[in-house]
Structure 1
Amino acid sequence: MTQQPDHILQTMEGSILVITLNKPSRLNAWDKPMRDDLVMAILKASKASDVEAVVLTGAGDRAFCAGQDLNEGKTFDADRAELWIEEWRTLYNAIRRFDKPFVVALNGIAAGSAFQVSLLADFRIGHALSKMGQPEINSGIASATGFWILREMLGLARAVDLIQTGRILEAEESHRLGLINEIVGREEVLPRALELARMLAGKPKHAYAFNKQRICAATQAGFDETFELARQIHRRAFEAGETQAEMAKFFNKKN
């Protein structure tokens, strides 16, 4: 039997846990097994006394993560779509409630749900080709959760722009808008993310955790409302069948 590769890789760099999304042949697009492993790793790191911070990155040099693996999503029905949204709620909550520093090293494109995950982190380090965006509409997926986090980060007008056009932001625009905190050389993305994580880990730990708890509380009502609406919206969308059809069409174009 052929051994399947790990969905994520975990290595310790001193007291910093580096988690690497590990499907480079598919631009690290995630499915349920990868999401489950990522949640487990984050929850374990939150309780581990030897882990002072997390850096999340992607394998290869093309993508941090291309978002949802359409091979999985195109087979969903309405019931599975609701469970899918609950899986995202679990992952997003794991990141939002992670009391230690959480830094994303954007080694390439971050699209759709991966864009959202990167925005849930404390800081993002990228390079000149680290593109970001919310192109879900182009594959028939409503941006219920994407709209929430983009409105929180950028305001209503820019959120509408990004979710309705599906356009991809170049690194310079993302940096100007504050979505990427620093742009460094391609080979310096992970080292700089580790350096930043170590600096943040050196802050008073209780104060850092309390600040994160306050940030989480300030956005909790919108988060809860978003996921309830997302559950309803995606159920209706998958009942109508357009989402599966558009996913399949989009996936076929890529092949």
Structure 2
Amino acid sequence: MSTVTFDIVDNYMGIIKLNRPEAANAFSRQLLRDFHHAIDEAERHQQLRAMIIMAEGEKAFCAGADLKERSTMTQDEVVETVAEIGKIVSRVESIEIPTIAAINGAAFGGGLELTLGCDIRIASDNAKMGLTETSLAIIPGAGGTQRLARLIGLSKAKYYILTAKRFDSFEGKEIGLIEEVVPLNELQSKAFEIAQQIASNGPVGVKMAKQAIDQGFDQDIKAGLAIERKSYMKTIPTTDRLEALQAFKEKRKPNFKGE
């Protein structure tokens, strides 16, 4: 059985699920291979409008690296495996549709780094998380030092990474890392609700909005506004834009087709 699965719900929502709960969904070499295959499969479905990344079980989203497996590796193999985790996070980050991480429990090290590659993070009220690598005499190596600082600010990122502090989902929301905290039994439905809200909007507009935000974030305001205009112009010739105007006129919900 695959350690990462991909499914489609309601035609428009993709779900990538980590499925190794007996090992806290940790990143084994096999799981990394299966994750690449799941993304490959997802990218073949052009009709998707939102992607949820979640995990099987009630205790762990992803505990990070499989330390039991890593203890048998050579230094070169360790470096190679960390790079592979980084590639997965970067692939998730570059998915053109919005991605939602539904954190159902422990998310440490590479597990939390995976969520940093997503656009939106929600968590169950029992979740614990942290970039704890310095307590293992290493540093976050799958993008954590870069993405966390961009999300919560330089000083806060240094505080959490240098102390290797573990924190709960409520603290995660307080610092701007987590958007919603819900009971564990409501996490999946909340993720679906957010995905459906996104999927009900104009698909081209959503993709272009994500693109404009991502590409403009590290630019000065002038360059950022130019990026925004370029993305905006791609929405103008779409039939969805005309459908939205017609639906408004007729006082009905628009029927978007991503065209």
Is TM-score (shorter-chain normalized) higher than 0.5? yes
Matches within 5 A, 1:21-170: 21-144=18-141, 145-170=143-168
Are the counterparts in 1 of residues 5 and 38 from structure 2 also a CA contact under 8 Å? no
Are the counterparts in 1 of residues 101 and 121 from structure 2 also a CA contact under 8 Å? yes
Distance 1:220 1:116, change over 3 A: farther
Q: State the match for 2:172 in structure 1.
A: 174
Distance 1:186 1:116, change over 3 A: same
SS of structure 2 residue aligned to 1:18: strand
The aligned amino acid for 1:187 is N
Report how far residue 177 of structure 1 moved: 1.3
Report how far residue 187 of structure 1 moved: 0.6
TM-score by length of 2: 0.77
Are the counterparts in 1 of residues 55 and 104 from structure 2 also a CA contact under 8 Å? yes
Report how far residue 89 of structure 1 moved: 3.4
SS of structure 1 residue aligned to 2:38: helix
**Aligned residues with identical type, % of pairs:** 27
RMSD: 2.0
The aligned amino acid for 2:7 is T
Matches within 5 A, 1:218-229: 218=216
The aligned amino acid for 2:161 is I
Distance 1:56 1:193, change over 3 A: same
With 200-209 and 211-220 compared, the bigger mean Cα shift is at 211-220
Are the counterparts in 1 of residues 110 and 140 from structure 2 also a CA contact under 8 Å? no
Paired residues in the alignment total 217
Q: State the match for 1:10 in structure 2.
A: 6
Q: Which of these two proteins has the greater Rg computed from alpha carbons?
A: 2
- The answer for unaligned runs of 5 or more in structure 2 is 220-259
Q: Considering Cα pairs closer than 8 Å and 6+ residues apart, tell me whether 1 or 2 has the greater RCO.
A: 1
Higher helix proportion: 1
The aligned amino acid for 2:205 is A
1:90-142 CA-partner distances (Å, limit 9, x unpaired): 21221111111211111111111111111221112212111221111222332
Report how far residue 172 of structure 1 moved: 1.1
Are the counterparts in 2 of residues 20 and 59 from structure 1 also a CA contact under 8 Å? yes
The aligned amino acid for 2:150 is E
With 117-126 and 77-86 compared, the bigger mean Cα shift is at 77-86
1:51-97 CA-partner distances (Å, limit 9, x unpaired): 33211111110011101111222233333234224313321221111
The CA distance in 1 between the partners of 2:66 and 2:3, in whole Å, is 13
Are the counterparts in 1 of residues 2 and 34 from structure 2 also a CA contact under 8 Å? no
Report how far residue 143 of structure 1 moved: 2.0
